[in-house]
Amino acid sequence: MATTIQVTDLNQGYGKTTVLSDINLTVTAGEILALIGPSGAGKTTLVSTIMGMLRPKSGTVRVLDTAVPNRALLAKIGYMAQTDALYTTLTARENLHFFGTMMGVPRAQQDQQMAHAAAVVNLDHDLDKAVADYSGGMKRRLSLAIALLADPPLLILDEPTVGIDPELRQQIWQELHRLADAGKTILLTTHVMEDAEEADELMMIRGGVAIAQGTPAKLLAEYQVPTIEDVFLKAGRVQDAHTRND
């Protein structure tokens, strides 16, 4: 399968602080990779670097066979930032139209794609409300609908399931699996182990270091534990032991 994202020997940080150390990551077409780790682990920093919003301190990032940063790439990525970037004085429908036009969705397809994206996140009945009157979870769902709108080959979703109830979470996962089956690549971040269990590939990140990587089945076998959460905890203890020995 074609490689969609290739991160090689990445070191990243802000000013003199190091936030990510020696990250190597490959995501292939049709695959869902979840970056899982606690708050402050470096997930958003990694996603922002893959998007080309932060220049690596060292190492390289390639997306869809193109070196990052590259302006043309942005049209091929459905990006959902951790912080919603919505026009709160506009309605949800107006936001969808605006971003659809920005992302070059042809006018003739906009209504149909909007309806589909809104249905995936259960916002079909709330599209004419001003976003200012939306709850936090509704704003997350609208941001996800915007990321899906242009039907891009790559989705990069930073905490897409925050503030989303279990039933809708399942519906969203169904859609993500459908997209992956159709050959799209999906990179997402999460704190939640339930999300990790849905992904094809995992990268567990703690303190800016990838402590475990692979398919859920491979990790369960390698660490000989019953759950993905246990893999994370065990890999964390291994990391702590190494750090103490350094």
Ligand X SMILES: Nc1ncnc2c1ncn2[C@@H]1O[C@H](COP(=O)(O)OP(=O)(O)OP(=O)(O)O)[C@@H](O)[C@H]1O
Q: Could you tell me how many residues make up the chain?
A: 246
* Neighbouring-strand partners of residue 209: 206
Q: Which of residues 33-62 bind ligand X (CB under 6 A)?
A: 37, 39-45
Residue among 40, 44, 56 nearest 7 (CA): 56
Min dist. Cβ of residue 119 to ligand X (A): 28
Q: Which 14-33 residues touch ligand X, going by CB under 6 A?
A: 14, 19
Name the phi and psi angles at 18, rounded to 5: -95, 130
216 binds, among ligand X, Mg ion, none (CB under 5 to 8 A by kind): none
Instruction: Tell me: does residue 44 bind Mg ion (CB under 5 A).
Output: yes
Strands 58-63 and 17-28 come out as: unpaired
Q: Find the shortest distance in angstroms from Cβ 13 to ligand X.
A: 8
Interface of this chain with ligand X, residues 186 to 205, rule: CB under 6 A: 191
Binding mask 110-149 for ligand X (x = CB under 6 A): ----------------------------------------
Q: Which does 39 bind (CB under 5 to 8 A by kind): ligand X, Mg ion, none?
A: ligand X
State how beta strands 58-63 and 66-67 pair: antiparallel
Give the span between the Cα atoms of 176 and 36, in whole angstroms. Answer: 17
CB 212 within 8 A of CB 231: yes
Q: Which residues contact 236 (CB under 8 A, 6 or more apart)?
A: 206, 211
100 vs 160, beta carbon nearer ligand X: 160
CA pair distance 246, 239, nearest whole angstrom = 11
**Minimum distance from residue 234 beta carbon to ligand X (Å):** 20
Which tokens in the block code for residue 134? 């939306």
Strand segments, DSSP code E, in the chain are: 3-14, 17-28, 32-36, 58-63, 66-67, 77-80, 154-158, 185-190, 201-206, 209-214
Q: Pick one of 21, 26, 82, 227: the residue that binds ligand X (CB under 6 A).
A: 82
Residue of minimal CB distance from Mg ion? 44
The token pair that represents 65 in the structure block: 């066979």
Contact flags string 69-88 toward Mg ion, x per CB under 5 A = -------------x------
Kindly state the number of chain residues that form the binding site for ligand X, as judged by CB under 6 A. Answer: 12
Least distance from ligand X to the Cβ atom of residue 209, Å: 12
Site residues for ligand X per CB under 6 A: 14, 19, 37, 39-45, 82, 191
Q: Where do contacts with Mg ion occur on this chain (CB under 5 A)?
A: 43-44, 82
